[in-house]
Amino acid sequence: MASPESISRLDKLRALEAWLDWQLHQTRARIQEVEAQERQGQREPRGEEPPKQAERQVEERRRPRTPDWGLIEAGIGSPTAEVHRGDCWAAGKRLQEISRERAIAELADAARACEVCRPDRVLGTP
């Protein structure tokens, strides 16, 4: 098998051209199918979705909802509780989902605000 460095630029462009040609052929075939359905007064059957949209919906069902706010309880290495935005990358896997009101109350009760996502700024707490 040839290494990527040994493949010439022209060969790479020809491979790309072949793939794009295949994509164009697939697209034109799908257009013809849809045009034929419309001429016959048919639309795509109900309940059927384009494959990409169906795949996206399945993945969304599997993935847990991202909470708006979260709390990491005090423990080893963390002397105080810490409030995070739900999408904060620094929160890790120990993030416990909490409501907006509880996040505000925790910040007022000596919990620290995460220095990465700064929930105190979003919540308007000092």
**String of DSSP letters for 40-97:** TT--PPTT---HHHHHHHHHHHHSPPPPSEEEE--BTTBSS-EEEETT-GGGGGGPEE
- Nearest partner of 74 among 101, 123, 112, 126, judged by Cα: 112
Task: Please tell me the predicted confidence (pLDDT) of residue 60.
Answer: 65
Q: Would you give the distance in Å from CA 110 to the centre of its chain?
A: 33
pTM of the entire predicted model: 0.48
What are 79-124's pLDDT values in tens digits?
788 999 888 888 777 888 899 999 999 899 888 899 999 988 888 8
Do 98 and 123 form a contact (C-beta atoms < 8 A)? no
Q: With bands split at pLDDT 50, 70 and 90, how would you rate the model's confidence at 28? A: very high
